[in-house]
C-alpha cells in the first residue's frame, strides 16, 4: 500500500512538473516570436511592410523596402502572400492587396518607387536596396 501511494505521488509530482515546464516553454516561445522580428529582422522583412487604411478599414496604400535584384512583384508577394495578380511575369497586373480588390473599371493599384509612379509593371521593375516601393489604390479618371 505504501509503495502504491509513493508511486502515485511520484507520478503526480512528475506530471505536475512536466506540465509546468511545458507551460513555461510555450509562454517563453510566444514572447520570443513577438520580439524576434523587430530585434533581428533585416530592413526588407514583412515586419517593415505597411499599409494605410480608410476609416472603414479598407487598405488604400501599401509599402515596403526594395531589395537589389528582386522585382516589385516578387517583394509584394513576400510581404502580402495573399495579394491577387492577373497575368504573369512582366505582364502581371496587381488586382488586390491586403484583401482589398480594386473595383473593376473604377480603380487600380498604382505602383510608385520613391514617390514617383513606375514606368514599368511590377513584374518588370527590378528594385534596389533603399528604395521605397509603394502601392496606392487610385481612381481611374
- Judge contact between 133 and 121, C-beta under 8 A: no
pLDDT at position 58? 80
Q: How far is Cα 1 from Cα 3, in angstroms, rounded to an integer? A: 5
pLDDT of res. 49? 62
The answer to whether 69 and 126 are in contact (CB under 8 A) is yes
Burial of 96: CB neighbours in 10 Å, binned 0-12, 13-18, 19+: middle
pLDDT tens string, the chain, 141 residues long: the values are 444 444 434 443 343 333 333 333 333 444 444 433 333 233 333 335 666 655 445 889 999 999 999 999 999 999 999 999 999 999 999 999 999 999 999 999 999 999 999 999 999 999 999 999 999 999 999
**Are 64 and 75 spatial neighbours (Cβ–Cβ below 8 Å)?**
yes
Q: How do strand 100-101 and strand 93-97 relate by DSSP bridges?
A: antiparallel
Amino acid at each position: 500500500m505504501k509503495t502504491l501511494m509513493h508511486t502515485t505521488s511520484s507520478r503526480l509530482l512528475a506530471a505536475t512538473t512536466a506540465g509546468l515546464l511545458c507551460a513555461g516553454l510555450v509562454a517563453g516561445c510566444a514572447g520570443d516570436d513577438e520580439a524576434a522580428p523587430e530585434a533581428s529582422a533585416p530592413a526588407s522583412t514583412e515586419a517593415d511592410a505597411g499599409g494605410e487604411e480608410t476609416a472603414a478599414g479598407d487598405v488604400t496604400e501599401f509599402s515596403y523596402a526594395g531589395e537589389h535584384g528582386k522585382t516589385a512583384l516578387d517583394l509584394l508577394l513576400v510581404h502580402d502572400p495573399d495579394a491577387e495578380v492577373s497575368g504573369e511575369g512582366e505582364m502581371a497586373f496587381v488586382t488586390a492587396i491586403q484583401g482589398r480588390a480594386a473595383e473593376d473599371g473604377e480603380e487600380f493599384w498604382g505602383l510608385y518607387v520613391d514617390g514617383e509612379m513606375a514606368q514599368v509593371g511590377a513584374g518588370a521593375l527590378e528594385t534596389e536596396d533603399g528604395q521605397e516601393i509603394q502601392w496606392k489604390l487610385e481612381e481611374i479618371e
